[in-house]
Structures are given as structure tokens and as C-alpha cells.
């Protein structure tokens, strides 16, 4: 996951309950006092370390077959605790632009490394129509990639109740 946190603020999200506990001290350094209560108000770009990322890919490739899930596929899952295509926010518009450029470059680099230096498949679930900017790269995976967009309702007004800061469902379609 390229980010810590998520700006979509989905009311039904499981992540604050299971992962923010581990990150509470790290988030406190960024002004997040209560990660659960403040869920949806923060998303920080993680520093990308290509060597560590490649080591994790090699480790995944080396997982013995008997330790894999029943489908037997080795897959990297993007957006399990955040949305890799969300817009990062910052009070300084120039810094916000820089962060979003860096975020897109990071996600694209991660995908390129998976595609070019591993046999792993990729599973992506996003709420953001921004993923369409990367269709060229995603298409280059062929059958090694599954892309989904979560759409809990087609009613934009109702969606604002459940996912107050996520892009409207009609935009995801």
C-alpha cells in the first residue's frame, strides 16, 4: 500500500479497526491523535524504497505452493488498506500537486516492477476514476491483472452518506 490512511472516509471501512493500532505512534508524529476517529482526514504517502519492494516481490515469488491460498495464485493486492488512486490533500496547493505527482509515479513504478521483474499477478480495488489514467500500464499486464471498482450504490446522494469523500459512483462507472 503506497499510503498510510485514506481520504475517502468510508463509514464501513474495516481498516481503522485493524491496522491503525499498529501505526498509532507513527501517525501521532504527523498530527493524527486518534487514527480511528480521524479516519478519512489523513492519507500520507509512504517513502518508497525500491530495494525493499523488490525484496518483498522475491519473497512472494518464493512462497511454497502449499502455503498459497486455495486458488494457488501469487498476487500482489493494491488498495487493501488505502486507495492507490486517491487524491492526497495538503494545505499548500503546490505541495499538494507535488505529492500527487509523486504518488502517481510511485504507484506506476510499483506496477512496472511487478510486471517486469516478477511473475506475480496484481489485484486492484479502487473507488477512484483516476485509475483510468493508468489503463495503458494496467493493460500491459494482460491476464495477470484484475481491476475492480467498488460501487456500493448508484445513488450519489446515498453514497455521500456511506463514502463522504470518495468520488461519486457515477464517476466510477
Distances (CA, A) of 150 to 67, 86, 94, 169, 173: 29, 13, 30, 8, 10
| Residues paired with residue 75 on neighbouring β-strands, in sequence order | 121
From CA 37, how far away is CA 19, in angstroms rounded?
Answer: 13
Confidence of residue 36 (pLDDT cuts 50, 70, 90): confident
- Rounded Cα distance, 160 and 158, in Å: 5
Percent over 90 (pLDDT), the chain: 69
**CB atoms inside a 10 Å sphere around CB 106:** 19
Residue 25 CA to its chain's centroid (Å): 21
pLDDT, residue 161, reads 95
Angle ∠(74,76,77) on CA atoms, nearest 5: 125
Give alpha helix (H) positions in the chain.
15-18, 20-28, 50-61, 93-117, 135-139, 156-162, 169-172
> What percent of the chain stands above pLDDT 70?
99
40 Rama sector, left if φ>0, alpha if ψ -120 to 50, beta otherwise? left
Q: pTM here?
A: 0.90
In this predicted structure, the answer to whether residue 70 has a pLDDT above a threshold of 90 is no
pLDDT higher than 80, residue 44: yes
* Position 150 confidence tier, pLDDT thresholds 50, 70, 90: confident
CA separation for the pair 121, 142 (Å, rounded): 10
Amino acid at each position: 500500500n503506497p499510503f498510510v490512511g485514506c481520504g475517502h472516509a468510508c463509514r464501513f471501512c474495516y481498516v481503522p479497526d485493524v491496522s491503525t493500532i499498529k501505526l498509532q505512534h507513527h501517525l501521532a508524529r504527523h498530527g493524527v491523535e486518534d487514527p480511528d476517529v480521524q479516519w478519512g482526514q489523513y492519507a500520507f504517502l509512504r517513502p518508497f524504497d525500491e530495494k525493499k519492494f523488490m525484496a518483498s516481490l522475491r519473497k512472494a515469488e518464493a512462497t511454497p505452493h502449499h502455503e498459497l491460498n486455495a486458488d494457488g495464485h501469487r498476487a500482489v493486492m493494491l488498495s487493501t488498506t488505502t486507495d492507490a488512486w486517491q487524491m492526497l490533500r495538503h494545505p499548500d496547493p503546490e505541495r499538494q500537486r507535488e505529492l500527487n505527482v509523486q504518488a502517481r509515479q510511485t504507484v506506476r513504478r510499483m506496477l512496472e516492477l511487478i510486471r517486469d521483474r516478477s511473475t506475480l499477478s496484481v489485484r486492484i480495488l479502487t473507488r477512484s476514476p483516476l485509475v483510468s489514467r493508468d489503463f495503458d500500464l494496467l493493460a500491459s499486464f494482460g491476464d495477470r491483472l484484475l481491476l475492480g471498482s467498488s460501487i456500493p450504490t448508484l445513488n450519489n446522494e446515498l453514497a455521500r452518506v456511506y463514502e463522504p469523500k470518495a468520488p461519486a459512483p457515477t464517476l466510477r462507472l
